[in-house]
Amino acid sequence: MGHPRRHVACRCDCTVVRSIMGGRGGRAICTPVPDPCPITPGNVSPCLGDPLPTEAAIIRVPDQPDLSHDQGSIRSKGARFMTIPSESVSGTGVLPMDRRASGVPGVKPAVSLLGLGVATPGLTRTQQDLGTALETAWGLDSTSAERWWRIVNGSGIESRSGVVMPERIMDLSTAQRMAEYVRLAPGLAREAAERAIGDAGVDRSRITDLIIVTCTGFSSPGVDVALAAELGLSPNVRRSQVGFMGCFGGILGLRTGAGMCALDPVGVTLVVCVELCSLHIRPSHDVENLVSAALFADGAAAVVLCGAAFEGDRGDASGLVRPGMTCLLPGTDAQMTWTITDEGFAMTLDRKVPRHLGENLDHFLDQLGPVDSVLSHPGGAGILDAIDEVIESRDLPCQSTASSASRSVLSKHGNMSSCTILFVLQQYLLNGGHVPAGLIAFGPGLTMDAVIIDPVDS
């Protein structure tokens, strides 16, 4: 027989307490939900100390929201205990999360997604038209032009939208670009927010929390203040911003919104991602600038979330948002960067990024848990190729619909940074995709971040 299990109270301010096996000295091992890996086999996550006991682990999630995003609402459920079999607890110190809590009577998910809305600016141009305009604006020589068109033609993009003609942005200072952001971002954010609120069927007077996600512009007062005023939200609405996290910011925004719903279970949280990538077209001819100029576009997306005690109609819920997980890949911090320069924000994107993501994705998905599909942020055609190669071997029942949604969004809209994954989710659902589905995005770090959308009745 194994040692008797003993639940140890944790004195630190954490959201998870793991049981300690008798004979381990009674030392508490605690970490926030979800565990922030690294998930490399054989490693021990620094926040966990010793590897977990191999017999079992018991978790208490006190009213912890399970993330779910998508059009519609979602049911809620409260605190739960989950017993995880010894074979599912790896020696890495990474504790898999039981998203479905199946077999636990009375367990209900805590966070519902009530609505989803997206928006793009009215200025839409074909990729070929943009390619010609930028070649002229840069004054590329024949060698640079050949390289430019090789990038454009291999991008997998047919059209993109922007708030301004990118040719006229090129010579602006960073301060001038930020002035354009202040002028134009709130309107696009409002369009997406209005659609999400309408989809949710919630009176905006009930919105208690507003979260803005962006990495393409800053000011204070910012989009949060402007949007709250334009939407007519209460002056008491709690405002937050997830800033400069890059393309996985949308995933982080969902998780942050779910945390707000856990703190105030009767409240309603509006999460709005807004990105004006076109403001950062720079005059440089370096490869990194050519690649980013060929990929990125403008857009906004919003979701409405509610907590466990929300009193309202959840009948059109699309799924339940679960916490998912994140992983920072060691030794890759220089492979994708987003920095502020005197000529706008500059991105570097190493050609090894798709390979590194592909090499780590399989183990990441093993830790994430079973899903019917994986919806990937379309960071570029090469990234999608690397992701699809890994996922195809899993034979997931709805993966063809998910992969089609990612490539369709890339083709029609380009890479809109943090809001893109919500465009993919909307397209997936419109195409008849089913949940449970994993939503995964990537960004500087290199970071892999994911949430789960589970069925309403899970």
pTM: predicted TM-score of the whole model, two decimal places: 0.76
Average pLDDT of the chain to the nearest whole number: 78
Number of H helices, E strands in the chain: 10, 19
Predicted pLDDT of residue 293: 94
Q: What are the tens digits of pLDDT across the range 116-144? A: 999 999 999 999 999 999 999 999 999 99
Q: Is 274 exposed, middle or buried (0-12, 13-18, 19+ CB in 10 A)?
A: buried
Q: Is the pLDDT of residue 201 over 60?
A: yes
Distance CA 275, CA 416 (A): 6
- Smallest CA-to-CA distance from 289 within 439, 394, 375, 166 is with 166
Cβ distance 418 to 246 under 8 Å?
yes
Distance CA 183, CA 163 (A): 10
Tokens 């971040």 belong to which residue? 449
Here the tokens at position 300 are 């906004």
DSSP letter for 121, please: -
Task: Give the DSSP letter string of 163-212.
Answer: SS-GGGTTT--HHHHHHHHHHHHHHHHHHHHHHHHHHHT--GGGEEEEEE
Q: Is the pLDDT of residue 381 over 90?
A: yes
Predicted pLDDT of residue 318: 65
Q: Give the other-Cβ count within 10 Å of 412's Cβ.
A: 17
Phi and psi (nearest 5°) for 388?
-60, -35
Q: Is the pLDDT of residue 108 over 70?
A: no
Angle between helices 142-153 and 127-138 in degrees, nearest 10: 160
Q: Is the pLDDT of residue 264 over 80?
A: yes
Here the tokens at position 339 are 């920095």
Task: Give residues with Cβ within 8 angstroms of 126, minimum separation 6.
Answer: 158, 159
Predicted pLDDT of residue 412: 98
Q: What are the tens digits of pLDDT across the range 353-371? A: 999 998 999 999 999 988 9
Pick the more confident residue, 287 or 86: 287
- Smallest CA-to-CA distance from 68 within 439, 449, 316 is with 439
Residues of the chain with CATH 3.40.47.10: 116-306, 321-454
Q: Is the pLDDT of residue 106 over 60?
A: no
Predicted pLDDT of residue 10: 37
Here the tokens at position 288 are 């990194």
Pick the more confident residue, 215 or 67: 215
- Smallest CA-to-CA distance from 271 within 263, 260, 262 is with 260
Predicted pLDDT of residue 98: 40
CATH of domain 116-306: 3.40.47.10
Q: What are the tens digits of pLDDT across the range 169-192? A: 988 999 999 999 999 999 999 999
306 a catalytic residue? no
The CATH-assigned architecture of domain 321-454 is 3-Layer(aba) Sandwich (3.40)
Q: Spot the catalytic one: 37, 247, 273, 419.
A: 247
